[in-house]
Amino acid sequence: MDKNNFSTFLRNNINDTFWDNYIKLVRNEMIPYQLMALNDEIDGAPKSYCLENFKKTAKVIQKINNNEKIEIYPVDRWEYKENECDKNSFLGWCFQDSDVYKWIEAVAYSLKNTKDNALEQKSDEIINLICNAQMENGYLDTLYIINDRSKIFTNLKDRHELYCFGHLAEAAVAYYESTGKDIYNTLIVSAPCCGKTTLLRDIVRNISDGFMGHAGMTVGIADERSEIAACNMGVPQNDVGMRTDVLDGCMKSQGMMMLIRSMSPGVVAVDEIGSDDDVQAIRYAVNCGCRIIATVHATSMEELYHKIPLKPLLGEKVFERIILLGNREHIGSITGIYDGEGNII
C-alpha cells in the first residue's frame, strides 16, 4: 500500500468477507467484554480498578476546586495492590489509564464501520468521566492526581505518564474522526434586540437534545437575568433541552464555576459576557475541557476587538467561531461567521 494513501484507507469503511467476521467479533464480543473488565464486573478475573480510579480522581479534582485537604499516598512502584494500599489511593498498575483509552479507540473504529447509538452513548459517558478527572491545567494521570500531585513528571522513565497520554491522544483523534463530534467554542455577537439570546437558546436546545445524528450532550446555563431559560420557581419556561441544567439568578462568573464543579456539563452557555470575572470563568471552563457558547454586545467585529475585557480571550483565540448577527434583512440575520483568527468563513 502507498504510504501516502494510508490515512485515506483508515477513513474508509472496511467491506471484506475476511475482515467482516473479525470486525463483528470485536464489536459484539470484545468491546462489551472489555467494558466489563474496566468496570471489574467479570467473575473470577483480577480487578483492574480502571474506571474506579477515574471516579476517585474526579473526587480529588472536586476537593482541589473546593480547597479541601487531600491525602498524600506513595508513588513508588509499578503495581498498587489492594491489600497493601489505602482504599482511597490509586489501585492497579501504573499504566492502567491506558486501557480505558484503548477501549475508546476500539469503539471509535467500530463506530466508523457500524453506527451504534447505545455504544456511542456509553462511550460518551466514559469520556465525560475522563473530562471530570482532568486538572485545570489539562494534566491527566490518575496515579499522580490521586496519590501525590507534587510528583508529576518526576519519573518519566518508569511511571508511564507519557505512555498513557499517547493512548489518550490516539483515542481522542480516532473518536473525533469516527463520530465527527465536536462543539466549537462560540461567541454570538450583535447589537441589542438582534436575536443573540434566541440563537443561543436554540443552540443549547439542539446540543442538549441531540441533532442530525449527534448524540445529546449535558449543558449548563448560567442564567443571571433569567433571559435564556426564563425560570419560574426553578423550572425553565423556555425549552432548553432535556440534558440542560440551569443556575438561575446567579452571577455569570460564579454560575459558570459552580456548574463545572457540581454538574459536570460538557457545554456551558452564558449570555452577555463582559467583565474580567466572566473572562476568568471562561478560561477556567475551557481548561476543564468544557465547550463555551456565549453572547456579547457589539455591532461589528471591529467593535468586538476593541472591547478591553475580551481582548485576552480573543487574543488567545479561545473562541473558535464568532457569529455576527444584524437586523438589516430581518432580526437575527447572520451577517458573517468568523474563525478564531477573525477570518470570515
Answer yes or no: is pLDDT of 10 > 60. no
Give the distance, in angstroms, between the CA of residue 334 and the centroid of all CA atoms in the same chain.
28
Identify the residue whose cell numbers are 446555563. 221
Q: Residue 9: pLDDT band by 50, 70, 90 thresholds?
A: very low
Give the per-residue pLDDT at 196.
Answer: 92
Q: HSE (CB half, 13 Å, CA atoms) of 115?
A: 6
Give the per-residue pLDDT at 216.
Answer: 85
Q: What is the pLDDT of residues 124-174, one digit of tens each?
A: 889 888 988 998 888 999 999 999 999 999 998 888 999 999 999 999 888
Residue 344 or 171, more confident: 171
The mean pLDDT value for 117-122 works out to 82
- Percent of the chain exceeding pLDDT 90 equals 63
The mean pLDDT value for 80-100 works out to 95
Give the distance, in angstroms, between the CA of residue 316 and the centroid of all CA atoms in the same chain.
19
Give the per-residue pLDDT at 82.
Answer: 93
Answer yes or no: is pLDDT of 213 > 80. no
Contact call for residues 11 and 177 (beta carbons, < 8 A): yes
| CATH code given to domain 186-339 | 3.40.50.300
Contact call for residues 128 and 215 (beta carbons, < 8 A): no
Q: What is the pLDDT of residues 270-292, one digit of tens each?
A: 999 999 999 999 999 888 878 89
Give the per-residue pLDDT at 180.
Answer: 65
Q: Residue 33: pLDDT band by 50, 70, 90 thresholds?
A: very high
The mean pLDDT value for 301-311 works out to 93
Give the per-residue pLDDT at 6.
Answer: 38
Give the per-residue pLDDT at 322.
Answer: 94
Contact call for residues 177 and 12 (beta carbons, < 8 A): no
Q: Residue 179: pLDDT band by 50, 70, 90 thresholds?
A: confident
Q: What is the pLDDT of residues 239-272, one digit of tens each?
A: 999 999 999 999 999 999 999 988 889 899 999 9
Give the per-residue pLDDT at 177.
Answer: 78
Q: Residue 8: pLDDT band by 50, 70, 90 thresholds?
A: very low
Identify the residue whose cell numbers are 459484539. 28
Residue type, 101: Y
| Mean pLDDT across the chain | 88
Q: Residue 181: pLDDT band by 50, 70, 90 thresholds?
A: low
Bridge partners for 344 per DSSP: 338
Q: Residue 5: pLDDT band by 50, 70, 90 thresholds?
A: very low
Contact call for residues 94 and 76 (beta carbons, < 8 A): no
Please report, for the chain, the start and end positions of each structural domain, with discontinuous segments joined by +: 3-179, 186-339
| CA angle centred on 171, ends 168 and 172, rounded to 5° | 85
Residue type, 87: K
Give the per-residue pLDDT at 12.
Answer: 52
Answer yes or no: is pLDDT of 212 > 70. no
Instruction: Name the nearest CA neighbour of 268 among 277, 278, 276.
Output: 278
Answer yes or no: is pLDDT of 210 > 90. no
